[in-house]
Amino acid sequence: MKLILPKEHGAWAMWIAPFLIGTLATKMIWYHSILFFAVFFAYISISPFIQGVKRPVERRQMWKISFQYLVIALLLGLPFLFYFPRLLLILVGILPFFLINLYYAKQKKERALFNDLSAIVALTSTVLVTYEVGEGNINRSALILWSLQILFFFGSALYVKTLYREKQNLAFRRLAYFYMIALPILSFYLSGPYLMIAFLFSTIRGIFTPKTRLIVPKTVGIIEIGNTLWFVIFLLLSYHQNPLFVS
């Protein structure tokens, strides 16, 4: 079976980084590796399914591939669903956001900001999955971690739009800059320096990225990888040292 991997680097980061955070924030257990591949195959099943929705001519082939990936994900994930039944609640909870993505794909409006937000909410929920498996429950700390990652990746979505789709939209750019500046300030007020620093890279790259010339997507991708790694490190430092996360 040949793997068809999604090309959206940002989407990969949106589920891998939260998966890693949820794992390192709790008890890292050997079967997290099996869980990773279960989530991996569930994730790569989405792209061919959506392609089948968008292109009826290829629907049968694309949905067959999607089904194969889902079967593998289910075989790997069934033991987790049995021992951690709350994972089913997470799946049910993110289903509406997946349906929103399907709607925008069918309308060929995947670049809509609300569609981005829906994808972010769904993909970052992997932090809840790994937190449940590592900790045995989904508590206040898990929900805070999830919320912070939604805020982070939504900021990244705003940043990318200021470079391309909304480059000439001054009002949108001002709103995006306000968001990028407000996050570290609010984080410092609520939690202290580590959480502020976690968002600081986003603020600096948002403000100082050149606006007068086009930046190639590959460069933006490299910057965002560095930004995500920075965020993961300092969010975990904040988590392990700050009372904001005490359940």
* Structure confidence by residue, pLDDT tens digits, 174-185: 999 999 999 999
Output the six-digit token pair for 166.
Answer: 């909304």
Alpha helices by DSSP H, listed for 136-169, are 140-163
Token code pair at residue 126: 């992997």
- pLDDT at 1 > cutoff 80: no
Q: How many CB atoms lie within 10 A of CB 154?
A: 18
CA separation for the pair 174, 56 (Å, rounded): 40
| Rounded distance between C-alpha atoms, residue 19 and residue 168, angstroms | 35
pLDDT for 243 equals 60
Q: Other CB atoms closer than 10 Å to residue 108's CB: what's the count?
A: 8
Q: Is the pLDDT of residue 86 over 80?
A: yes
Q: Residue 246 pLDDT more than 90?
A: no
Using an 8 Å Cβ cutoff, are 22 and 138 in contact?
no
Structure confidence at residue 212 (pLDDT): 65
- Average pLDDT of the residues of the chain: 90
DSSP character at residue 216? P
pLDDT, tens only, 118-158:
999 999 999 999 999 999 899 999 999 999 999 999 999 99
Asked if 202 and 156 touch (Cβ cutoff 8 Å), the reply is yes
Does the predicted model carry a pTM greater than 0.75?
yes
State pLDDT tens for residues 148-196: 999 999 999 999 998 888 888 889 989 999 999 999 999 998 888 899 9
104 token code pair: 């925008």
- Structure-block tokens of residue 9: 């680097």
Average pLDDT over residues 34-39: 96
d(CA 225, CA 219): 10
Percent above pLDDT 70 for the chain: 96
Residue 29 confidence (pLDDT) = 83
- Residues 60-99, buried b or exposed e (16+ Cβ, 10 A)? eebbebbeebbebbeebbeebeeebeebeebeeebeebbe
pLDDT of residue 101: 92
What distance lies between CA 55 and its chain's CA centroid? 26
Other CB atoms within a 10 A radius of the CB of residue 50 amount to 20
d(CA 146, CA 141): 9
Per-residue confidence (pLDDT) for residue 228, from 0 to 100: 95
pLDDT reported for residue 2: 67
Query: Could you tell me which of 123, 228, 121, 220 has the C-alpha nearest to residue 162?
Result: 220
Tens of pLDDT, residue by residue over 56-69, are 888 889 899 999 99
